[in-house]
Amino acid sequence: GALLRWATDKARRQRDVLYNAAYPAAGDILLYQARGEAIREQIASRIDACGDEVIVLAHSLGGIACVDLLVKHPRPQVKALVTCGSQAPLLYELGALVSLQPDEALPDSFPKTWINFFDRDDLLSYLAAPLFKPVARDVEVRSGVPFPDSHSAYWSQPLMWQRLQALI
């Protein structure tokens, strides 16, 4: 009880700081959950403009949107989905993924290759393979930088680019 009282008092005094740090990301997720169709339509139009064979690369909330799009509105030209730091597996487990309930499998129309990059130091990245076998494969990268910087450190990881090179 005393520890919780201390934490509550400290959080209350720092409420503005905590709120200002958390609301941009939480707001984006809530907006997507409430009005994500327009976002998915924009992604679909970009995919459709790319040609016959497409590899979709998505980061964070973009990974959630791409999973939802490819489940709800298949794009046969997408040969692979690559996600980095995605929370799609978490939302799936929570029953909060727009396109799938926790007991539903990926449809046959979903791309046959999904590479999901994660970093143990990125507290916003989740494993996909345990939930979406055999389609999803998790690849760990180790940026060596603390959170929250680790959430954007995928782009500087040679292992990620080496794995992507193999897809092309």
Query: By C-alpha distance, which of 53, 64, 52, 56 is closest to 115?
Result: 56
pLDDT tens figures, 67-115: 999 999 999 999 999 999 999 999 999 999 999 999 999 999 999 999 9
**Stated pTM of the model:** 0.87
pLDDT tens figures, 125-143: 999 999 999 999 999 999 9
